[in-house]
Each structure stands twice: as structure tokens, then as C-alpha cells.
Chain A
Amino acid sequence: MIVEELESIWYIILKDLRAYYFKPPNISWGILFPLVLALAFTLRNPSGFAELSPGLIAMAALFGTTSMEAIVITFEKRVGALERLMLAPISLRTILMGKILSGAIFGLMIAGTMTLISIGFMGNQITSPALFIISLLLTVLTLSALGALVAVSVKEVFEAQTLSNYFRFPMIFLCGVFLPVEAMPMPLQVLAHVLPLTYSVDALRQTSMGSVHFRLLFDITALVLFLLTFLILATRLLKKSLE
């Protein structure tokens, strides 16, 4: 039974990558977006790029996962293709895990491009590669689950985009991408700590810039909890749509 569910997840990933994510326009956007982002910040302040790069990698992951995934899921809902999956002998959780993983792979492609630009062209170092990869994987999975949650809660593609922007843009400013969380007023610091990107940025910063603190374990735990919460909520919402 578990093997069947795992196989189904894999087939949904393959289908989504082939039908949606790995289309030439999406691949070129996936390369162009981090490239433009890196160039813009390098030209503005060449010496400050290293400091910003963990935040920019997290930001690339955020946009990479949520933007396309929201379109894919809401589009499939609209044309009835998601129902096609729901007719198959697999659980709703399996369907969502397939969707989340395919979105995460696309997000990883974009965040990975940003990381390669950061290392290859800007000369940055990844001080703890293994922990960095774990942090990045958890980041794309969590943010992809957030994208899935948004997508199953709305009906139209434009609603998904609008709703995504409600949390995407505040997260960029609150979660330490440009400005350290500690430098913000206390109410905003509290707000930052209920947003997953804060833990992603902190984990990526620790693993790519200097020494890893005990705090990393807290970041990773927080990301796992966010991931599970988003998955459970998205599954419940999808189940509710059957009532």
C-alpha cells in the first residue's frame, strides 16, 4: 500500500514536471529570475552581495515554489484535471505530496541557480554544504506546501496569485532577507517568527556564512512543523471540497 502511494507520488511529480514545469518558458524564467535578481543587487552594492545571498536564495525559493505551483493547482482545479487525480485509488494526501514535491523541485531549480550564481560568479562560500542542502530542501518543501495550501483554498488562478502576494511581499521585508530580524521593532520581530521564511533565511545564513549555531536545530524543527501544518491544512481543505 505504501509502495503504491509512493509510486503514485512519483508519477504525479513526473507528470507535473513534463506537463507544466519543464516547459521552455518556465525553464528560461527559472534561470532569468535569479540571474536578474543577483545582477540587480550586485550592481547596486557589489561588496554587500555575500551578506544578502542567503536571503536572495530563500527569496528565489519562495517565488520559484509558490508562483508556478499556485497556477498549476488552480488551473487543474479549473479544468477538472485535479478531479482526474481524485478519481484514482490514491489518498488526497498522496496527491498533495506529489504536487508539493513537483513545486519543490522547480523551486529547488531556481534557488539552486541562485546558489550557483552566488558561488560561481560572486565567489561566495558554502561553509557547511551538507547542512546547507538540508536547509534548502526543507525551505523549498515548506514554501511549496504553503503554495499548495493557498492554491487549494481558492478557485481562480488570479485569486491564488493575489493571495500569494499577501504573504510573499511581507515575508520578504519581515523575514530577514534584506534587514536582520533583530534590527526590527519588537512587534515585527514577533510577526517574523510566525513566518516560515524567517527560519529558512536564518538556516541558510548559518550554513553558508560562518559557524553553525544550536539555533539551526530550532530553524529546521520550525520548518518541519510548518511543512506538516501546511500539508495537513491543505489536505483538510481539499477533503472539505468533497463535502
Chain B
Amino acid sequence: MQNAIEASSLTKYYNDLPAVDHISFNVEKEEIFGFLGPNGAGKTTTIRMLVGLTTPSEGTAIVNGYDIREKIVEVKRHVGVVPETSNLYDELTVWQNLLFMSRLYHVPKQERKTRIRSLLKTFELWDRRQFKFGRLSKGLKRRVTVAAALVHDSDIVFLDEPTTGLDVISARSLRGLLNELKKTGITVFLTTHYIEEADQLCDRIAIIVNGKIVKIATPESMKSVVNTQVVEASFDSPIKSAIAMGLEALGEVEVEGCMVRLFTKDVSSAIEALTILSKEHRLKIEYVNMTRPSLEDAFVKLTGVASDVMKAEKEGGGRQS
């Protein structure tokens, strides 16, 4: 099967500093491919190169069979882009915006209205078709922007941080729509710094840090790099770090309030040690849980970027428009 995207040694320098540093990857047709990394990792720059908004300093990519250096107009015909900011026209209605996009992408006149009508119904925007874009909520704007990226029947859709700044309900609704997109045979290239989002949506993930790809794998095999189990125990009162120090012989320990997380290969010894700890310090165990490592654990192990850094970015991102 021909790949939807084949990037080879793609590089972008800004003032001699590499924003994207010789990255190579393939995106298979009809898959959801995630680019996961912290802010400034080079995710957006990669998308901008792939869709012709900036020229690569070195290397190239084949998108839908066309070289981005030689046939960028052909590339643009076949891709839809949902930028981080919903950048349609505030003064035009939802319908006018989609009509303008369909015209700009040379959708045959006889198909325009049918396609727009179908998209508006799929994205539950039909009732708001006469609303001005500028008056919509962030979540609805995002939906219209995704619809605009699909109006010309694109083969590949690029989404740059699609749920950043959305409330929980809008973000969940958008993720549902992206899952639906996959069923229609469209290839989705998604950037995100939301680890759970990448885990839920993507068939494969590339982790990018400081402009370089650290690993490309499925979320499940990504998690397998952390070859430990996670034993979580919650106590009836907060745990002092000093108390939990005794568990470190069994593996890495994280303490957060009443919760202790122990990354260990020896689960039975871990449970035994937790029981002893509760007896010695007269603590009551509220519950014990055993989980496989999360994608976040794998991300931390692979990149060395602390999970709290990603969390802080996530919270910061949540406040963005």
C-alpha cells in the first residue's frame, strides 16, 4: 500500500536553530497518525512544511504522491488543514464560509451545495448554518473549521492541536467526529500534546522532542517500553515521602497526597510491602489497583520530559483560545 505521507530528512531551521531536525517517517493511508510532543517540539512546523505554509530548509516529503518541493499546489488540492486557531471568516456565515472554501478548492458547482449540506448535518451544524462564524462558541468554530477542511473531499486531513482550548464536552465531541472520519477512509495527521488524546485516537504515534523523533510505534507497543507494572495504593491519610522511601527497593515510587504509585516488576512483593507499610504507620489502605503503564509513563521514559511539564502545558493549553 502506498503511504499517504513519506517524509525524508525533513528539516527546518529558524535563525540557524533547527526547529525540525532531519525527521523521517511514513504515514499509512487511512490511519490516524499522531505527533505527540511538548510545546516547541516542532509539531506545528512539521505540519506547515507538509501543507506548503513554509519551505523545508532540507529534506522533503511526498504527500499523497506529490513532492512538497515540486508540486505543492497538487498537494494542497488533496489535503485539508485544521490549524490550531480556527481561522475562518468571522463576518461570513457558516454556510458562506464553507461555500467560499468549496469554491477556492474548485469543487464542481453542482456538487457544492450537496456536499456542504451533508457536512453540516454530519457535524450537527445545520441549524447554525446562517450564524456568523464570529458568533459561534470555540467548540462550534472548531467543528466548522474541520468541516471546511473536508469540503473538497480531502484524502488527508492535518489537525494541529484540534482540542486545545476546548471544554471537555466539545473536545469529546470532536474526538468522536475524528473517529468517525477514520471510517470514511481519510488519513488523519494529528498533532497534540494531550497524551490521553493520542492514546485514544491514534493508530500510531511519533514522539517528537526538540525537533527530533524519539520513537514511532502504536500506543500499545509504546507502552511496552515501560516493562514494569504499576501498583497504586490509596491510604486514608496523606503519605509523607519519607515513609514511602522504604518502597524504593522495589522500584520507582511516586507519592501524591494519599496515593502511592509503585513501578515494579515484582507485584506480590510490592503488595506485601504496602501492607507492612500500612501496619507500621497505622494507615488504612482504601484501595489497591494494578495497572499497565500508561502512554504518559512511556512518554516520560522515552523523552525524559517530566509528566508534570506536560500537565502544566495541558492546563496552559486549556486556557488558550
Chain A residues packing against B (C-beta within 8 Å): 4, 7-8, 11-12, 15, 18-20, 23, 79-81, 83-91, 242-243
Contacts and interface: CB of A to CB of B under 8 A. Distances in A.
Nearest to B92: A19
Contacts of A23: 91
Contacts of B237: none
Contact residues of B: prevailing secondary structure: loop
B53 A242 contact: yes
B103 A7 contact: yes
16 contacts: A11-B103, A23-B91, A80-B85, A81-B87, A81-B89, A84-B83, A84-B88, A86-B52, A87-B51, A87-B52, A88-B101, A88-B104, A242-B52, A242-B53, A242-B55, A243-B54
Contacts of B96: 18
Given A18-B96, A91-B73, A243-B55, A85 B91 contact: no
B87 A15 contact: no
Contacts of A79: 85, 87, 90
A227 to B, nearest CB: 24
Contacts of B85: 79-80
B240 interface: no
B87 A18 contact: no
A128 to B, nearest CB: 38
Interface string B71-100: 001101100010101011111100010001
A8 B83 contact: no
A184 B55 CA distance: 48
| Of A79, A88, A90, most B-chain CB atoms within 10 Å | A88
B91 A88 contact: no
Nearest to A79: B87
A4 B106 contact: yes
B77 A89 contact: yes
Contacts of A11: 100, 103-104
B41 to A, nearest CB: 21
9 closest Cβ pairs, A-B complex: A80-B87, A89-B76, A19-B91, A89-B77, A88-B104, A11-B103, A89-B73, A19-B89, A87-B81
Contacts of B74: 89
B126 interface: no
Interface string B46-57: 000001111100
A19 B94 CA distance: 13
A90 B85 CA distance: 22
B105 interface: yes
Contacts of B104: 8, 11-12, 85, 88, 90
A89 B66 CA distance: 13
A12 B103 CA distance: 10
A90 B101 CA distance: 12
A19 to B, nearest CB: 4
A4 B73 CA distance: 12
